[in-house]
Amino acid sequence: MKRRERVSPLTSSPVGAISLTGANLLPLVGVLLWEWSLWSLLVIYWAEAFSAVVLAALKILFAERGSPSVAGQMEPLRELREKRGGWVIRGSWPPVYPRNIPFALSLVGGWFVTVFPVSIAYWLSVDAPPVLTLNLLCGLGTLVVAQGVDFVAEYIHRERYTDVSAREIMRTPAQLTALLLPLALFATDGGRTGGLVILVGVVLGKSSASLYRFYVEHIGTPVLGTGDWFEAEENLSEPPPEIELPDDAVQARVSVSAKSVLLGSLWAIAYGFANRLGLGSLVVTGFATIARDPVWMAIGLVGVGVIVATRVLSYFFRYGTIEYQRRGNHLVAYDKLLAAPQWCLTVDSSTTFSVKNAIADRLLDTGTLTISSGGEQEDVQIGPVADIDRVVETLGLPVEETARPDRDPVVIGAASVLMLCFAAVPAGLFFSSQITDAMAGAITVVFAPFFLLPVGVLLWAALSRI
């Protein structure tokens, strides 16, 4: 996509600054003329924070720069982080990058797992929640529209998506949510607590913080060099991770085995529950089952089903749409759906090939090669493919041995016995006359992760030696 000439932020930001200023000062009119309370301001700013989360998730999808990984952090659908290329959904807009989807899901999922349920419980706990009057809805709509104007006019049309990464965008909704905490502490009684001075101070303080955030994001220089206490010390952005194709023509190409990719995706389902949203769905389903509540059981099962389906589709999108090409002395993994290369390496004497001992390959008699280039590039894979020997010959790979390790009955038997021992512990609770079914179910829900981990490892060990 040919990029337009960039416009100076000093000349491109007045419209956004004016709309943001007017929207943030409108609640001041509500306080002075319509007698809004702190509760009313809390409703306004909560809705603004929620819309900021939604718009930030949209911005994340278009962010062009890369986002460095965080040690120990696992985003939903993490395998999409390795996808390269994007979809153009509208001619004048930038492409949507699948590698940013995990960050968008993490942002929205974190809100729904933490802020949203706490807000609902807080709302239901008060004696007299505020009434959504026309004036209140007007102020709410104005703040939301101001964010929409900034998204379309500044982020899309001024091409600010070229300068930011997904991780950088995630800071703004976090900051806005943090601004709500002091306001929520003051708003517990729903009245005009603290008088007019506090109400005006809250509006002006929040407006100043929003304008300062706008100034830093669009002009980029903190006032008086004081910096931003919200900023993280580590680097949140890196150059776009897109890969260029070599000039050589395609000499040979092979496709993956779709059945083997789908079977392999079953093991990736477990990672879908290794986050707040996944664990929350399991907990809701488990306690609903114990309480025999059909409504919450249905909600929990729908959540679990959605997570399972997205994990399978995500895994297939990661490996099932790939075509492996030989271009001169280069080996390229090319995504046919995105029409973009995923990785490219040179096949030479330093390139090492090894057979991956994948369970799906053993069950379906397919094959997968792991490739190490010996440099800083991470190991990549070819496959799973239907006939690994034919693939080696077609792509001209210097691979001498394509056989997997032999079946090991001793490992299979030992892992199966240990797996049954671990599984027998929670199963025995339901057959004990001293423990009620409700208590057994509660214990199973609480301690299930501790039992599932060794059972899963042992099951993988047994199947990998079939």
Which two structure tokens, joined as six digits, stand for 351?
Answer: 């390139």
Q: Is the pLDDT of residue 257 over 70?
A: yes
pLDDT band at 19 (very low <50, low <70, confident <90, very high): low
Taking residues 41-66, report their average pLDDT.
Answer: 84
pLDDT band at 185 (very low <50, low <70, confident <90, very high): low
The pLDDT assigned to 107 comes to 86
pLDDT band at 192 (very low <50, low <70, confident <90, very high): very low
Hey, which of 6-10, 298-302, 384-388 has the most confident mean pLDDT? 384-388
Q: Is the pLDDT of residue 270 over 80?
A: no
The pLDDT assigned to 29 comes to 61
pLDDT band at 95 (very low <50, low <70, confident <90, very high): very high
The pLDDT assigned to 438 comes to 63
* Contacts for 156 with CB less than 8 Å, ≥ 6 apart: 62, 93, 94
Q: Is the pLDDT of residue 332 over 70?
A: yes
More confident residue, 252 or 192: 252
pLDDT band at 338 (very low <50, low <70, confident <90, very high): very high
Compute the mean pLDDT over every residue in the chain, rounded to the nearest whole number.
75
- Of the chain, the percentage scoring pLDDT greater than 70 comes to 63
Q: Is the pLDDT of residue 388 over 80?
A: yes
How far apart CA 238 and CA 217 sit, in angstroms, is 17
Q: How crowded is residue 463: how many other Cβ atoms within 10 Å of its Cβ?
A: 16
Taking residues 153-170, report their average pLDDT.
Answer: 86
Distances (CA, A) of 129 to 39, 116, 136, 411: 8, 16, 13, 62
Q: Which helix (H) or strand (E) holds 457?
A: helix 437-463
How far apart CA 63 and CA 6 sit, in angstroms, is 16
Amino acid at 273: F
Hey, which of 77-81, 98-102, 134-138 has the most confident mean pLDDT? 98-102
First to last CA, the chain: 50
Q: Is the pLDDT of residue 274 over 80?
A: no
pLDDT band at 330 (very low <50, low <70, confident <90, very high): very high
* Contacts for 299 with CB less than 8 Å, ≥ 6 apart: 284, 288
The pLDDT assigned to 409 comes to 74
Q: Is the pLDDT of residue 2 over 50?
A: no
Q: Is the pTM of this model over 0.85?
A: no
Alpha carbon 229 to chain centroid distance?
25
Contact (Cβ atoms closer than 8 angstroms) between residue 1 and residue 91:
no
∠ CA 141-143-146, rounded to 5°: 105
Which two structure tokens, joined as six digits, stand for 264?
Answer: 């392999």
Phi, psi of 349 (to 5 degrees): -70, -20
Taking residues 334-353, report their average pLDDT.
Answer: 90
Q: Is the pLDDT of residue 127 over 90?
A: no
